């Protein structure tokens, strides 16, 4: 019975226990120095990193963007297949418009006067034959050029392949011309028009800055030193800034990234919010793993001959695709993030006391004296029992 009563009393005392901080002033060179250095580090972090460098007093918003492009330039070629030919923007920009990107034709393989007829398949694994028994009528293969007729025919003096119904003559699988046919493409220019918006702050701007007039736009070309705000770029300059050679890249094609970055501090004048341009190659150009390099696709132009028969010119086009990518963030003063970061800083200052207390009470040579002064215990239950007669 006595044990039960004692247990209940202990539980009651624990339940009604209350702890309050006790201020202990320690005059010590070591402890005082440690405390001030730690406080200085916390204040430097809050002011230097959170407020100044990271602008913790600002509310932020991500950029919304739209991009349109317009390429200009003329190229001249003289080949045995096409003769002397002028190439303008309608010839080498395929398709005419893309979303935030554009493709410039720089090299091509041409197969002229194709008609739907019968011809021997190009020699490759799976299409060689010695007799008709090796060819299956109606068979089609995604690696082939047509539908097999079931006949084995001579492709050349030494090769026999299965006959196919296809666009004949078939395209020959060979390397593109080097140097590229449209080598003049390096002098083409592109006007990149970029409009951005930060909806949270109702802020709009475009990369054609307010001081840029029509006269300046007609003659400027982007240059980091003389014309850093000009939105017209020379293709060779863009590739060169990515540490690439345009003529080498133009042979097999590739993919370039045009990065436009808007970092805007809206507490400052709006004229300070300007785009920054960088360029880099995006596709893989590993010299070891160089299977299927570059960027290419096929397209055809269709005609009717004098016999009303449909013919086409097949073009395997190689070129450079430019992807325009827009990044950005805007910041503006707001009382809410300011108070949150100031509150976090004050909480860190409070943590300094906890750290110093732990060091003093566990590591210092006079820790026993500090412990006796830091903690004291007052038991009202004991006092009441002593006052009871």
Q: Which two tokens stand for residue 279?
A: 């360029």
pLDDT at 12: 64
Summary mean pLDDT of the chain: 85
- Across 10-14, 133-137, 193-197, 255-259, least confident range: 10-14
Q: Tell me what pLDDT residue 383 has.
A: 46
pLDDT tens, 57-68?
Answer: 889 999 999 999
The C-alpha R_g of the chain, in whole angstroms, comes to 39
CA atoms of 316 and 108, how far apart (whole Å): 5
What are the beta bridge partners of residue 315?
A: 110, 299
**Predicted local confidence at residue 5, as pLDDT:** 60
pLDDT tens for each residue of 148-170: 999 999 998 888 999 999 999 99
Kindly report whether the peptide bond that precedes residue 93 is cis, defined as omega within 30 degrees of 0.
no
Residue 297 marked in a binding site: yes
H or E segment to which residue 185 belongs: none
**What is the C-alpha to C-alpha distance for residues 309 and 114, in angstroms, rounded to an integer?**
11
- Model pLDDT, residue 367: 61
Strand (E) or helix (H) holding 346: helix 335-363
Q: CA separation (Å) from 191 to 85, 125, 194, 219? A: 25, 47, 10, 12
The answer to whether residue 369 scores a pLDDT higher than 80 is no
In degrees and rounded to multiples of 5, residue 311 shows phi and psi of: -130, 165
Is 387 a residue whose pLDDT tops 60? no
Residue 190 · residue 70 · CB < 8 Å: yes
Look at 132 and 54; give whichever has higher pLDDT. 132
Q: Where are the domains of the chain?
A: 7-56+334-374, 62-121+170-332
The reply, when asked if residue 71 is annotated as ligand binding, is yes
- Strand (E) positions, the chain? 58-62, 64-72, 75-79, 83-87, 101-120, 147-154, 160-168, 189-198, 203-206, 232-234, 254-265, 276-281, 296-304, 310-333
Other Cβ atoms within 10 Å of 247 Cβ, number = 16
The mean pLDDT value for 175-191 works out to 93
> What average pLDDT does range 214-224 have in this prediction?
92
Which residue is it, tokens 């920009």? 93
274 annotated ligand binder: no
**Cβ neighbours of residue 275 closer than 8 Å, sequence gap 6 or more:** 194, 207, 260, 261, 262
In the predicted structure, residue 366 carries a pLDDT above the cut 70: no
CA distance 381 to 384: 5
366 is in an annotated binding site: no
Q: What is the mean pLDDT of residues 97-120?
A: 92
Dist. CA 373–CA 208, nearest whole Å: 71
Identify the three-state secondary structure at position 156. coil
27 labelled binding-site residue: no
User: In the structure, what pLDDT confidence band is assigned to residue 346 with cuts at 50, 70 and 90?
Assistant: confident
Q: Is 70 annotated as a binding residue?
A: yes
Q: Classify strands 147-154 and 83-87 as parallel, antiparallel or unpaired.
A: unpaired
> Facing residues of 297 across strands?
317
According to the annotation, is 30 in a ligand binding site? no
pLDDT of 42 above 90: no
Contact indicator for 194, 261 with CB cutoff of 8 Å: no
The pLDDT of residue 9 is 62
What is the arithmetic mean of pLDDT over 359-368?
A: 66
Q: For domain 7-56+334-374, give its CATH number from 3.10.20.30, 3.40.50.300, 1.10.287.940, 3.30.300.10.
A: 1.10.287.940
pLDDT in tens, 324-343: 999 999 999 889 888 888 88
Looking at mean pLDDT, say which of 193-197, 266-270, 351-355 comes out highest: 193-197
- How much is the average pLDDT of 15-26? 65
pLDDT average, residue stretch 344-366: 74
For 234, the 3-state DSSP assignment is: strand
| Whole-number pLDDT of residue 109 | 92
Half-sphere exposure of 21 (CA within 13 A, CB side): 7
- Predicted confidence at residue 35, as pLDDT, reads 79
Identify the pLDDT of residue 343.
Answer: 86
Q: What pLDDT is recorded for position 339?
A: 87
The one-character DSSP state at 37 is H
SS3 state at 62: strand
Three-state DSSP state, 47: helix
Q: 67 among the known binding-site residues? A: no
The residue with greater pLDDT, 319 or 82, is 319
Architecture of domain 62-121+170-332: Sandwich (2.60)
């Amino acid at each position: 019975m006595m044990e039960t009563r004692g247990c209940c009393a202990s539980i009651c005392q624990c339940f009604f226990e209350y702890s309050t901080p006790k201020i202990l002033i320690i005059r010590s060179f070591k402890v005082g120095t440690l405390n001030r250095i730690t406080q200085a580090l916390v204040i430097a972090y809050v002011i230097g990193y959170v407020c100044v460098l990271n602008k913790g007093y600002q509310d932020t918003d991500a950029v919304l963007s739209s991009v349109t492009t317009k390429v200009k330039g003329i190229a001249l070629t003289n080949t045995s297949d096409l003769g002397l030919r002028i190439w303008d923007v309608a010839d080498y920009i395929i398709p005419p418009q893309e979303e935030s990107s554009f493709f410039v034709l720089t090299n091509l393989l041409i197969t002229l006067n194709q008609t739907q007829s019968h011809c021997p398949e190009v020699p490759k694994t799976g299409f060689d034959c010695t007799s008709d028994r090796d060819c299956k009528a109606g068979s089609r293969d995604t690696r082939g050029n047509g539908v097999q007729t079931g006949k084995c025919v001579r492709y050349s003096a030494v090769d026999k392949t299965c006959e196919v119904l296809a666009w004949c003559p078939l395209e020959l699988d060979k390397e593109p011309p080097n140097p590229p046919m449209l080598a003049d493409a390096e002098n083409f220019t592109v006007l990149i028009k970029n409009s951005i918006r930060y909806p949270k702050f109702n802020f709009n701007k475009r990369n054609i800055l307010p001081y840029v007039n029509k006269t300046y736009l007609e003659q400027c070309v982007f240059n980091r030193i003389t014309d850093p705000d000009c939105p017209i770029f020379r293709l060779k300059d863009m590739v060169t800034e990515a540490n690439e050679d345009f003529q080498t890249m133009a042979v097999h094609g590739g993919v370039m990234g045009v990065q436009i970055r808007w970092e805007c501090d809206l507490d400052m004048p709006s004229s300070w919010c300007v785009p920054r341009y960088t360029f880099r190659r995006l596709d893989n150009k590993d010299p070891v793993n160089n299977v299927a390099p570059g960027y290419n696709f096929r397209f055809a132009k269709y005609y009717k001959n004098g016999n009303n028969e449909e013919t086409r010119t097949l073009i395997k086009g190689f070129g450079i695709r430019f992807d325009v990518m827009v990044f950005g963030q805007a910041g503006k003063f707001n009382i809410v993030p300011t108070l949150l970061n100031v509150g976090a800083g004050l909480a860190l200052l409070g943590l300094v006391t906890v750290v110093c207390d732990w060091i003093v009470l566990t590591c210092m040579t006079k820790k026993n004296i500090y412990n006796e002064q830091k903690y004291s215990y007052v038991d009202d239950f004991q006092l009441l029992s002593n006052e009871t007669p």
